[in-house]
A and B are shown apart, each in its own frame.
Chain A
Amino acid sequence: MGYKPAHSGPSTASNSLRILEIVARFGTGTTAKEITDALQMPPATVYRMLNALVADEYLVRTSDLRGFALGHAISGLIMAAVPPNVSTAARSAIEEFRSGNRFAVHLVLFRNASLKIADEDPDYPLQSASDMLRHPHASAAGKLMLAELGDSAPPFPKGPLMKLTPHTITDRRQLEEQFAHIRAEGQAADINELEQGFSCLAIPVKLPHGTVEAAVCLTGPSERFSAICDHAEAARELASRLAPLLL
């Protein structure tokens, strides 16, 4: 504890975050009284903020209505902020695969409908990582994720899609057709779509209960894309080895 309100009138937004932190720390069942005591804020203010946080599902009330727990709406923030934890076994499996070929090999996780780079190839670091995370429609891993999401989430942002290179597909219907292909073939590719001169093949990592939660990405110069595709089977083997290690 030891929390005191900031000296210059704390803003509502930061107080809301403090409340969330207290609930995260005290655990499920934290009461309004405990929060008021911990933050030393006027009870009426705390109640108002709690109700606002509950309304937006950042918090939920426990069955007796007295206590609070973290709600599912907070998972977007937490999942995005916390670096993914990849086990040593998974890392060494990837390392072993890297030593057997001359392309970049990355492991990308799908979290809350966005990409998360879990294990980047140290020898060939990703050139356009930030573009890849912001514009999933332009990369192999992103398209794989969008294809797998299907109808369960709105796959595209509103407004026109960004054209990163002349080859980036921005037509929504064309993308939908590609998604159908990707689902049928069980792999996705981008050729010069994310970065001019580079291509990537993404192989899904299917968890035992059937959902695709990650992709093994093989990246290299575009003129060697057919050579990359020759490694598809080996990458698929790696993916099935990784699946139980990513749980």
Chain B
Amino acid sequence: MSARRDRFITPHSPVEGLRRRKLAFLPVFAQAVAAVAPAGAMAVIPALVYPTVVPGSASPNLVLTFGAAMAVMILVSFCLRPMAKRMAAVSGLYSYTAKGLGQRTAITAGWSAIFGYGVIAMASLLAVGTYTDQMMINLGINLPNPNISMALVILAATAFACFLMIRGVQISAWFTLMVECLAIGLLTALMIAYFALNTPTLDFEDFFSWSGDPDVLWIGIVVAVSAFVGFESATTLGGEAQKPFISIPRTITWTPILAGTLYLLAAITQDLALHDAPTSIRSSSTPLSDLFAQTSPLLAAVLDLGIAASWFACAIASLSALARVLFCMGREGVAPRIMGRAHASYRTPSVAIMVVMPVVAAVPIAVIFSGTSPHQGLVLFFTLGAYGYLGAYILASASLPFFLHRIGEDTYASWILGAVTPLTLGFVLWKAATVSTDTGNLQALIYAGVLLASVVYALILHLRLPERLASVGVYDESQDSDLFLGRPS
């Protein structure tokens, strides 16, 4: 073994402890698809865009909103792909930012991603509770206290998710894939069935014209973006995927395209369906389900089950991504070291999972008991979550040219992409934040508080613990056993 080789290749990966290079393509893809939760999102989010956009304006244009959100997300996927091809990251956006814009900025990206994953997981659990309750109602089961049953469902879902995640990414990924496929199939079939039963009046002109207030478009896009977020969560499986440089780039390329196509279809159908629906349904927490309940309560209950299952899968996927970011931070020492501990036999970031779960379950339960309607809660969480993701996307996509420059592989295209994408994202985020703050919403301020705290924390690290800050950016490095004639690990 020459000295040169020793200097360049570590004998052991710094993120040792996870089950290395075992996960096939499908589970990796499942992680991304589940985190996006297309089935749940296509049922819930277009309806959220509706009332968000509605106050004081004419009918919104779902197709335009979702089309714009899809275009933005595809830009992000173009930015993440080159980095995913070069680095087997365990904490996705956070690791990319560390290698591109540097460690201090990475802390902000990491916190932003954690915030996004966490809040979306909370939203997912809240949606699981809401739709399970709704299913009971549609089945004719009388709920004495819907809040308590919702809280119990959330607790049960949290416990089950926790078990699946600790047991192993393989099991949870296959479970989520199965659930998601069933849910998508169910939803598509039900939508077709609905339109077979209720022929709508078609007016294609409406799809492509924007008659609303242009300002509300931005909030609409941010909420629509929250339907896509999570597609990048496959980048947290760099250490565990079998062929990370193939499966992860492929996943982040195709997931937004696939999800976008489903959403556009869902947006068109719901635009039609909700257009003629009474106001009570349009402003309900579960509009699609209420719409079906008019035709057949049983169909509606099946639909609710599908949506709840999809959100459950989303909770699992978001939390496993979140746990891996925390795991990584624990390994680096910028989060408590204990977070960096892996389960000895299941080889999953078990401590990080156990720490996160109670918080993620408690917040939606608190929201339910605070008297906030589930609908308001969902809008709040999805918007907040979208802010978190967008912030992390901005930093990670801006990292692309710097990342490539650092390793001597930058191209003109990467500089253009690395400038256009964060600027576009930043513009959308800024517009949405100002519009929503003007209307008295505090979401943007909450997120700004998180950002500020992360900057302060990074500054403290920089001044007090510079050596810990310097270690930020660990990833699954090539190790000796990956080399030609390398020693087996």
The residues of A with any CB-CB pair to B shorter than 8 Å are 27-29, 31-33, 43-44, 47, 51, 54-57, 60-67, 69-72, 74-75, 78
B8 touches A57 (CB 8 A): no
What would 20 more interface pairs be, CB under 8 Å, given A44-B413, A61-B478? A29-B4, A31-B408, A51-B86, A54-B86, A56-B243, A57-B482, A60-B483, A63-B8, A63-B10, A63-B478, A65-B87, A65-B407, A66-B406, A66-B407, A67-B8, A69-B5, A72-B481, A72-B486, A75-B484, A78-B484
A31 contact set on B, CB distance < 8 A:
408
Closest to B412 in A: A44
Asked if B194 is an interface residue, CB under 8 A from chain A, the answer is no
B4 touches A28 (CB 8 A): yes
Q: How far is the CA of A31 from the CA of B243 in the complex (A)?
A: 22
A65 contact set on B, CB distance < 8 A:
86-87, 99, 406-407
Q: How far is the CA of A56 from the CA of B409 in the complex (A)?
A: 19
B246 touches A64 (CB 8 A): no
A60 touches B407 (CB 8 A): no
Interface bits B456-489 vs A (CB < 8 Å: 1, else 0): 0000000000000000000001100111111000
A66 contact set on B, CB distance < 8 A:
406-408
Chain A nearest CB: distance from B121 CB in Å? 31
Asked if B142 is an interface residue, CB under 8 A from chain A, the answer is no
Count of A-B contacts judged by CB separation below 8 Å: 85
- B478's partner among A56, A60, A78 (CB-CB below 8 A) is A60
Closest to A43 in B: B411
A51 touches B9 (CB 8 A): no
B85 touches A74 (CB 8 A): no
Chain A nearest CB: distance from B304 CB in Å? 42
Interface bits B388-418 vs A (CB < 8 Å: 1, else 0): 0000000000000000001111010100000
The residues of B with any CB-CB pair to A shorter than 8 Å are 2, 4-5, 7-10, 85-87, 99, 243, 245-246, 406-409, 411, 413, 477-478, 481-486
Q: How far is the CA of A47 from the CA of B7 in the complex (A)?
A: 23
Chain B nearest CB: distance from A109 CB in Å? 16
B8 touches A72 (CB 8 A): no
Chain B nearest CB: distance from A83 CB in Å? 17
Q: How far is the CA of A78 from the CA of B288 in the complex (A)?
A: 61
Chain B nearest CB: distance from A113 CB in Å? 15
B4 contact set on A, CB distance < 8 A:
27-29
Q: How far is the CA of A62 from the CA of B9 in the complex (A)?
A: 6
Q: List 30 A-B contacts (CB under 8 A).
A: A28-B4, A28-B5, A32-B407, A43-B411, A44-B411, A47-B409, A51-B85, A55-B85, A55-B243, A56-B243, A56-B246, A60-B483, A61-B478, A63-B8, A63-B9, A63-B10, A63-B477, A63-B478, A64-B8, A65-B86, A65-B407, A66-B406, A66-B408, A69-B5, A69-B9, A70-B483, A71-B484, A72-B483, A72-B486, A78-B484
Closest to B10 in A: A63
Chain B nearest CB: distance from A86 CB in Å? 19
Q: How far is the CA of A67 from the CA of B483 in the complex (A)?
A: 13
B5 contact set on A, CB distance < 8 A:
27-29, 69
B408 touches A32 (CB 8 A): yes
Q: How far is the CA of A243 from the CA of B486 in the complex (A)?
A: 21
